[in-house]
Amino acid sequence: MPSKSIPVLYDLARPTADVDVVAITPRSEIESILSLSGQGSDLHRKHKVYLQLVGVATVPDSYEKRLTEIAPGSFKHVRLFALDPYDLALSKLERNTQRDRDDVRHLARTVPFDIAILQERYQKELRPSLGNPEREDLTLRLWIEAIEEERAPDSPI
Q: What is the pLDDT of residue 30?
A: 75
Across 78-96, average pLDDT = 89
Answer yes or no: is 49 within a domain: yes
88, part of any domain: yes
Are the C-beta atoms of 46 and 40 separated by less than 8 Å?
no
Structural domain includes residue 112: yes
Q: Is residue 13 part of a domain?
A: yes
User: Higher model confidence: residue 76 or residue 16?
Assistant: 76
Residue 132 placed within a domain: yes
Place 6 in a pLDDT band, splitting at 50, 70 and 90. Answer: very low
Measured between alpha carbons, how far is 148 from 137 in angstroms, rounded to an integer? 16
Contact of 103 with 6, CB cutoff 8 Å? yes
What's the pLDDT tens digit per position in 49-61?
777 776 667 889 9
Distance between first and last Cα of the chain:
29
Check: CB of residue 101 under 8 Å from CB of residue 115.
Answer: no
**pLDDT confidence of residue 21:** 63
126: CB partners within 8 A, 6+ apart? 58, 59, 60, 61, 90, 93, 136
Instruction: Give tens-digit pLDDT for 26-48.
Output: 667 777 777 888 888 887 888 78
Q: Residue 47: what pLDDT?
A: 79
Number of domains forming the structure of the chain: 1
pLDDT at 17 over 60: no
Whether 71 is covered by a domain: the verdict is: yes
- What pTM was computed for the model? 0.78
- Give the range of the structural domain holding residue 139, as residue numbers without chain letter: 5-151
For 11, other C-beta atoms within 10 Å of its C-beta total 11
**pLDDT value at residue 145:** 95
8 vs 70 pLDDT, higher one: 70
What are the tens digits of pLDDT across the range 61-79? 999 899 988 878 887 777 7
Tell me, yes or no, whether 126 lies in a domain: yes
| Assigned domain for 156 exists | no
* Region of poorest pLDDT, from 27-36, 38-47, 83-92, 126-135: 27-36
